[in-house]
Copies of this chain bind each other. A is one copy, B any other.
Amino acid sequence: MRTAPRSQDLAHALRALAMDAVQQAASGHPGAPMGMAEMAVALWTRHLKHDPADPHWPDRDRFVLSNGHASMLLYGLLHLSGYALPMEQLRRFRQRGSLTPGHPEVDHTPGVETTTGPLGQGLANAVGMALAEKLLADRYNHDGHTVVDHRTWVFVGDGCLMEGLSQEAISLAGAWQLGKLTVLYDDNGISIDGPVRAWFADDTAARFRACGWSVIGPVDGHDVEAVDAALQQARRSVDRPTLVICRTTIGRGSPARAGTARAHGEPLGEAEIEATRAALGWTAAPFEIPPQIGAAWDQREQGAAAQAAWRVRWNDYRRDCPADADELERRLLGRLPEGFEIDWLRLLARTQQQGRTLASRKASQHTIAALAPRLPELLGGSADLTGSNLTDWPDCGAVRGGERGGRHINYGVREFGMAAVMNGLALHGGFIPFGGTFLTFSDYSRNAIRMAALMKRRVIHVFTHDSIGLGEDGPTHQPVEHAASLRLIPGLDVWRPGDEAETVAAWGHALMQADRPSALLLSRQNLPAQPRGPEQTAAIRRGAYVLSDRPQAVAVLIATGSELSLAMAAQQLLDQQGVPVRVVSMPSSTVFDRQDTAWRQAVLPPGPPRIAVEAGVTPPWAAYGCTAVLGLDRYGESAPGPELMQALGFTAAHLVELVRAEVARCPAGVPR
């Protein structure tokens, strides 16, 4: 009969894997995994509910390693717990094509819940995941039926807590009373630049308490029993998220580097690894785990049992509440309701027929209101600009701590937090989150938008007040480079619709992209409806199409958003001058870029010169072969919108001039 290994030895297994893998890669971060090893033992062997054989089991606890540079801790945990991550992959840490990249990547490694590395975002993702659990539990659990009941656990380091984003995340978690969220803080007092006290003197416990959190500790983060006890206590919290402060030593076990910044981001070196092995009493060879320790780590049996118990509950639920079971299942799979596309296309046709003059932000609100009733997964919100972004809809209710049933989130003035929480909602599953702010402030949330694109998650950003057309608020609020710069983020769809129909089309397209975030750039000011035949209406979703053609057109005018009507007006003036031009509406260049060559050439034929008009920076239009652009390569000004538009050259007359100059310079038919 085998004696059970000590918890300490379980921790040493993680330490050994971390230092050996980093050494083998000659790159990586050994210090944090070695420092958090006991925290990980306490959580992963005693509390985390998961089924290594089925990383997608919907009622699993979520674990987020917010300090993603400690990736080897996570890979060690996944391997030892029994996920499909063989030792071979740990040996290939940070190598091309391995399942063990430098920072954890969701959908790449089984058991990784979110891609982390950019600090603070994992914590905010976790807040979104915990909120998702709470909202789904509120909605779908019924008396005698508990099918949604899991926790969210997060490891964070000093770095995450220095990031301002952490404040946005913890403030929201406190306000939402996310009792099932537990954060374990690896309080090792060291960041890359050295001992943190000179630049991070915060009383972190007091800060979290100030935000409505329950705080436990500091506990000895190297005492598995102490961490275990703290987690037990955390689980009893009802309406407060919990911070467990674990006092640890970075690089714990390394005689020469423990407790120093040198443990952070480079291999320990062969000699120091040998010394560490000796100090830990760890005799196994690199990448070898003694069988008893491996057995103690293996969570497959417990995981299967946990899921089996849930399956029983789920089957009862499916029997007693079939409609809810279907809906929840559909939502968790990320599938739109049967018939969604048809509903959307009907709405689009109806909208086109109505021909209303509306700001596209208002058109967006109408679209949301029309689609939301049949899309319970749609969860709106705004960073304290609800009445400006128009992200709410009738009877949407508000998400509030201690209340149930709301579908619109007041994120407060927290653009980055909103975006990162939305990523967490989307990662958890069951929701299509969307959130609004002014387009300029997409700068604040930019890296979270990028992360949604990198992670291929359906998150919809509603960015209103999309140009100098917003007027009086002035240059701080007037986007100039933002549309162009969002279009550069790989995997993000950017829409700038020109009227209500294009707005409906953009929303539908965004909702149907299950593996892609979208940004909708919307006007503050009214936009007239454009006439379209059914084929044109259908073509909006191709990103660009011919809105108004002329036989023997001698030039092509490409327009987006609020400048579409300007292009149409210019076309009319040019008609009078005997200069026939085609108007192409390009509400989404990113979607257009994915169309087949035939479509792209049909819309933008070789030959006639192309002129673009968009109230933003001009150079990117060269990529569409435009030789002239009516745009804006400077900051705006504070003035009434229409006056400003005119003063900065956005007039049909000016556009006509540009077109005529190009036509004169480059007659149609000359090959480009």
Contacts and interface: CB of A to CB of B under 8 A. Distances in A.
A88 interface: no
Contacts of A166: 164, 167
A198 B175 contact: yes
Given A198-B401, A413-B163, A623-B619, A639 B96 contact: yes
B201 A212 contact: yes
A434 to B, nearest CB: 16
A587 interface: no
A476 B116 contact: yes
Given A118-B440, A167-B166, A451 B476 contact: yes
Interface stretch (A99-107, A541-549, A554-562, A573-581): A99-107
A488 B485 contact: yes
Contacts of A204: 210
Nearest to A445: B443
A191 interface: yes
Given A443-B446, A640-B27, A472 B94 contact: yes
A387 B192 contact: yes
B167 A474 contact: no
Contacts of A167: 164, 166-167
A416 B118 CA distance: 13
Interface in A465-485: 471-477, 480-481, 484-485
Given A192-B386, A489-B481, A164 B417 contact: yes
A413 B175 CA distance: 25
A128 B64 CA distance: 34
A476 B68 contact: yes
Contacts of A31: none
Contact of A103 (B387, B401, B473): B473
Quick one: copies of this chain in the complex? Answer: 2
A49 B210 CA distance: 34
A635 B454 contact: yes
Nearest to A486: B485
A488 B450 CA distance: 17
A128 to B, nearest CB: 15
A412 B191 contact: yes
A37 interface: no
A433 to B, nearest CB: 16
A572 interface: no
Interface in A624-644: 625, 633-635, 637-640, 643-644
A440 B446 CA distance: 11
Interface of A: 25, 27-28, 68, 94-98, 101-103, 105, 115-120, 158-160, 162-168, 171-172, 174-175, 191-194, 196, 198-204, 206-207, 209-212, 265, 382, 384-388, 398, 400-401, 410-414, 416-417, 440-441, 443-444, 446-447, 450-451, 454, 471-477, 480-481, 484-485, 488-491, 617, 619-620, 622-623, 625, 633-635, 637-640, 643-644, 647
Given A94-B640, A120-B413, A203-B210, 11 more contacts: A94-B472, A94-B639, A117-B476, A175-B199, A192-B386, A193-B386, A198-B398, A200-B412, A265-B388, A622-B622, A623-B623
10 contacts: A94-B638, A103-B638, A164-B164, A194-B410, A198-B398, A200-B412, A203-B210, A207-B211, A619-B623, A620-B620
